[in-house]
Amino acid sequence: MAHDTHDIHRSRAEFEFIKKKRAAEMRGQLTSFAMMIFLTLIAFTLVAADFSNYLIVPIILLLAAIQVVLQLYHFMHMSNKGHGVMAFFMFSGMFVAFLTVLAMVTIVWW
């Protein structure tokens, strides 16, 4: 809201610090971007190499999970300060959903 905004004055040291931090963040983003491309390559290679489906499906699911975590932390700023509660809720939600799916798979459809 308009009346809540106020100007921010930064000292030279603060400015340098923020610049350094942003550079580090950029580095993290580029690294994880490279990793994601690499993970995608692995996935495509697995399919192209015609491995058994029982091997391909779990590995692709695992790679997908890694991608999600990389996305969340490096591109959606979960690594930044003040995201603790959000992370807690997301992981609790995932945990509950995982338990539910696991139970369904094992006791209903198995």
Which residues make up the interface to other proteins (CB under 8 A)? Answer: 1, 3, 85, 89, 92-93, 96, 99-100, 103-104, 106-108
**What HEC string does 14-68 produce?**
HHHHHHHHHHHHHHHHHHHHHHHHHHHHHHHHHHHCCCCHHHHHHHHHHHHHHHH
Q: How far is the CB of 62 from other proteins (least distance, A)?
A: 24
Q: How far is the CB of 22 from other proteins (least distance, A)?
A: 26
Task: Decide whether 58 or 93 has the Cβ nearer to other proteins.
Answer: 93
Element (H, E) at 96: helix 84-103
Task: Decide whether 13 or 108 has the Cβ nearer to other proteins.
Answer: 108
